[in-house]
């Protein structure tokens, strides 16, 4: 979501004649868009500001704005601790960024703006065209969360669940396709909680599928509690919806899930998985895991390992529990650091082996790849298959924006390598 927000901030600032630069030394204004999910993200704010200070040590400093969730959660602390910061702008307030920049240019003042609601932001953004022209583009459809998982800061930094009007989403999607996008990834802190005038995510998927030249649709991040039967049906009926679902579970222990306030059990999670497989036998899954959540025993951890093996997630994103200030879990007694690190090592080793075995099976199989860009090497093109695997091929043809059948010849931990084939009758993916 940060990438979507950053692109929209750039669209906004173009109205006051600002443009992006890859050279920090040229910057008149430095905008740092932040995430607050883990502790290291907050530390990175101060590291990046230090980098700006170093570059502008002997010349007039740029305007420095901190936006996003760290700004929302720790705005007062940031302004007090780091005098170099000119303004704090929360994630629901960045539509006011032009006024803020102009105000700072005219006066020597500090600004902390974190009080707006999502509806006000999107009312402003709908008036400004999304200029993103990437082959694969993000599109925010929902923000905020009402689930209040005990470890999570999102309800406090992004606020309550808000769903954008369908007409605005369709309009922005059409604009992205007009710009050249062929794949759209729908975003939300709890994307499958989308509900606008009783129209849910499944309804939106069908409507988006009707857009000419839009070839692929994905969405993230979903919550098991909101996985409705109509959405499960869509995974069997919506041809443009890709067969990879990111469905965070966080733990394989129902006891730990209860302690987290996840409001679903492992049994319910597996029922969703099995129903999706019934509707689409090709579907694969990825997930998020919090290792060593407070109160996690050896038995709880082993249940997490069992779940990973049972589902066979093709990607597992795992982190040791990071207490976030202001959350109910922030003051709980943590698992011993040594034990936590050992469990993370074991988990990641097993998850990597599952991923490695999955990718080995792809060798000599065929995949449909949407190519996103030409690489620096003259005849190499980068794309992604239906399961979001990175694929690189050699080609004299300009493949950008095109879907081609590719025979996979090699793989490493992160990338598949192959060659474009013309026989579209070949079976696409290994079972």
Structure tokens at 280: 């689409």
Residue 252: Cβ within 10 Å count? 22
At 430 the pLDDT is: 41
How far is residue 186's CA from residue 216's CA, in Å, rounded to a whole number? 11
**Three-class DSSP category at 28:** coil
At 107 the pLDDT is: 65
**Burial class (CB within 10 angstroms; exposed 0-12, middle 13-18, buried 19+) of 267:** exposed
At 39 the pLDDT is: 63
- Mean pLDDT to the nearest integer, 48-75: 88
- Residue 244 pLDDT exceeds 60: yes
For residue 404, the surrounding DSSP H or E stretch is strand 403-411
**Three-class DSSP category at 75:** helix
How far is residue 381's CA from residue 371's CA, in Å, rounded to a whole number? 7
Domain positions in the chain are: 2-117, 129-242, 249-359, 366-421
At 70 the pLDDT is: 83
DSSP assignment letter at 190: T
Out of 9-23, 189-203, 214-228, 386-400, which region has the weakest mean confidence (pLDDT)?
9-23
Beta bridge partners of 406: 367, 420
Q: How confident is the model at residue 121 (pLDDT cuts 50, 70, 90)?
A: confident
- Residue 423 pLDDT exceeds 70: no
Q: Which residue in the block uniquely carries the two structure tokens 């302004």?
A: 79
At 254 the pLDDT is: 98
- Mean pLDDT to the nearest integer, 417-427: 69
Out of 111-120, 149-158, 248-257, 282-291, which region has the weakest mean confidence (pLDDT)?
111-120
At 427 the pLDDT is: 42
Q: Which among 355, 271, 272, 274 is positioned nearest to 318, based on CA atoms? A: 355
CATH of 249-359, one of 3.30.750.200, 3.40.47.10, 3.30.2130.10, 1.10.40.30: 3.30.750.200
**Burial class (CB within 10 angstroms; exposed 0-12, middle 13-18, buried 19+) of 271:** middle
Structure tokens at 251: 């733990």
Phi-psi sector, 197: left (phi>0), alpha (psi -120 to 50), beta: left
Out of 28-32, 174-178, 349-353, which region has the weakest mean confidence (pLDDT)?
28-32
Q: How confident is the model at residue 38 (pLDDT cuts 50, 70, 90)?
A: low
Q: Which fold has domain 366-421?
A: OB fold (Dihydrolipoamide Acetyltransferase, E2P) (2.40.50)
Task: Report helix, strand and coil shares of the chain as percent, to nearest 5.
Answer: 40, 20, 35
How far is residue 289's CA from residue 263's CA, in Å, rounded to a whole number? 16
How far is residue 319's CA from residue 292's CA, in Å, rounded to a whole number? 9
At 94 the pLDDT is: 86
Beta bridge partners of 344: none
Task: Supply the mean pLDDT for the chain.
Answer: 91
Architecture of domain 129-242: 2-Layer Sandwich (3.30)
Percentage of the chain lying above the pLDDT 90 cut: 72
The answer to whether 196 and 166 are in contact (CB under 8 A) is yes
Instruction: Tell me, yes or no, if the two domains 129-242 and 249-359 fold the same way.
Output: yes
How far is residue 178's CA from residue 294's CA, in Å, rounded to a whole number? 48
Higher confidence at residue 301 or residue 91?
A: 301
As separate numbers, helices (DSSP H) first and strands (DSSP E) second, the chain gives 13, 19
Percentage of the chain lying above the pLDDT 70 cut: 95
Residues in the chain: 431
CATH of domain 2-117: 3.40.50.12160
């Amino acid at each position: 979501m940060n990438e979507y927000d950053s692109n929209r901030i750039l669209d906004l600032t173009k109205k006051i004649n600002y443009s992006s630069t890859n050279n920090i030394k040229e910057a008149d204004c430095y905008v740092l868009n932040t995430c607050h999910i883990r502790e290291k993200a907050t530390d990175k704010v101060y590291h990046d500001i230090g980098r700006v200070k170093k570059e502008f040590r002997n010349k007039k400093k740029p305007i420095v704005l901190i936006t996003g969730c760290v700004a929302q959660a720790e705005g007062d602390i940031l302004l007090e601790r780091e005098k170099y910061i000119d303004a704090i702008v929360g994630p629901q307030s960045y539509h006011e960024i032009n006024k803020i920049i102009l105000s700072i240019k005219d006066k020597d003042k500090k600004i902390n703006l974190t009080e707006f609601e999502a509806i006000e932001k999107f009312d402003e953004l709908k008036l400004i065209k999304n200029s993103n022209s990437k082959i694969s583009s993000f599109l925010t459809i929902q923000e905020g969360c009402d689930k209040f998982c005990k470890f999570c800061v999102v309800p406090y930094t992004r606020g309550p669940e808000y769903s954008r009007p369908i007409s605005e989403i369709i309009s922005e999607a059409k604009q992205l396709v007009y710009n050249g996008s062929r794949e759209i990834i729908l975003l939300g802190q709890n994307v499958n909680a989308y509900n606008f005038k009783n129209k849910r995510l499944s309804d939106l998927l069908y409507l988006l599928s009707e857009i000419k030249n839009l070839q692929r649709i994905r969405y993230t991040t979903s919550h098991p509690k909101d996985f409705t039967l109509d959405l499960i049906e869509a995974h069997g009926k919506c041809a443009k919806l890709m067969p990879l679902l990111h469905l965070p579970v966080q733990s394989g222990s129902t006891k730990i899930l209860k302690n987290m306030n996840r409001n679903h059990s492992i049994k319910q999670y597996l029922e969703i998985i099995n129903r999706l497989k019934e509707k689409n036998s090709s579907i694969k899954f990825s997930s998020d895991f919090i290792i060593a959540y407070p109160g996690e025993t050896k038995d709880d951890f082993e249940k997490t390992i069992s779940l990973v093996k049972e589902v066979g997630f093709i990607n597992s994103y795992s982190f040791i529990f990071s207490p976030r200030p202001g959350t109910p879990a922030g003051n709980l007694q943590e698992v011993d650091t040594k034990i936590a690190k050992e469990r993370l090592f074991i988990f990641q080793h097993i998850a990597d082996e599952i991923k490695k075995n999955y990718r080995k099976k792809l060798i000599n199989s065929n995949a449909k790849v949407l190519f996103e860009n030409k690489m620096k090497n003259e005849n190499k093109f980068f794309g992604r298959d239906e399961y979001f695997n990175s694929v690189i091929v050699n080609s004299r043809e300009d493949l950008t924006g095109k879907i081609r059948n590719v025979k996979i010849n090699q793989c490493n931990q992160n990338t598949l390598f192959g060659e474009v084939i013309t026989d579209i009758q070949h079976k696409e993916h290994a079972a």
